Amino acid sequence: MGVIYLARHAETVFNRAARMQGNDAHTPLTLAGVMQADAMGAALVAHFAASGEAVPPIWCSTAGRTQQTAAIVADHLGVDFFAIRQDARLREIEVGRWTGRSYAEIVAAEGPILDLDRRLFRMPIPGGESYADIAVRLRDWMREAGEGPMLVISHGMTARVLRGILVGGPDYGGVPIAVDVPQGTVMRIDKGAEVPLVVGSGVARMGAA
């Protein structure tokens, strides 16, 4: 693919409360999240002004938290919100029966669910997706999205898998997965290498973001 600006959505009320979001709930950004999205937009404006690159098409998932982040970023870039391309294949990992529950509650009921060294879920997730499932839908999206430059606003786990596909990362169950980054981070990816344009102020939390 061509150049991709890949962003992790800003902090939500569920992130702050350490609750699993999955895909059922449209969880709003916190004030800190709005400020993170504002910083992302400002950093992208500065980058495009300095580089002379045109502002690329914007993609996001169908989740409210990526749409809200994308709306703030688009305002900075002078892009109409209704021109943003939404695609469900960019959604966060499906967490099944964990959806809406706190990490503490899940661990108390089911035992350790996290690989602390890799900051990943131990598989399988009851009623949820595997990392291989995410990779399949992302590769399908990549084939349809085309080669042009784009700005993609996605989720913590999904973005880690996409970055793993594009730049590589430690193998986990046959899927390359990149290291975690804080909410509000934007990476510029080109020719198999990534450079952070802005590192978010959010916490790099394990699991669904």
**With bands split at pLDDT 50, 70 and 90, how would you rate the model's confidence at 71?**
very high
Tell me the average pLDDT across 169-188. 93
Residue 175 has pLDDT above 50, yes or no: yes
Give just the sign of the alpha carbon dihedral 184, 165, 177, 130: positive
Predicted pLDDT of residue 207: 45
For residues 118 and 24, give the distance between their C-alpha atoms in angstroms, rounded to a whole number: 26
Q: Please name the residue ranges forming H helices in the chain.
A: 13-17, 31-51, 64-77, 103-110, 131-145, 156-167
Measured in Å, how far apart are the chain's first and last C-alpha atoms? 25
Facing residues of 7 across strands? 153, 186
The greatest distance separating any two alpha carbons of the chain, rounded to the nearest whole angstrom, comes to 53
Tell me the average pLDDT across 36-40. 97
Distance of CA 11 to the CA centre of its chain: 11
Residues 6+ positions from 64 with CB-CB distance below 8 Å: 26, 27, 28
Predicted pLDDT of residue 116: 79
* Fold designation for 4-198: Rossmann fold (3.40.50)
**Which among 109, 208, 110, 114 has a CA at the least distance from the CA of 157?**
208
Q: Is 54 exposed, middle or buried (0-12, 13-18, 19+ CB in 10 A)?
A: exposed
Tell me the pTM: 0.93
**With bands split at pLDDT 50, 70 and 90, how would you rate the model's confidence at 203?**
low
Tell me the average pLDDT across 10-37. 92
Predicted pLDDT of residue 192: 95
Residue 25 has pLDDT above 80, yes or no: no
Residue 208 has pLDDT above 60, yes or no: no
Distance of CA 36 to the CA centre of its chain: 14
What are φ and ψ of residue 165, in 5° steps?
-65, -40
For residues 74 and 41, give the distance between their C-alpha atoms in angstroms, rounded to a whole number: 7
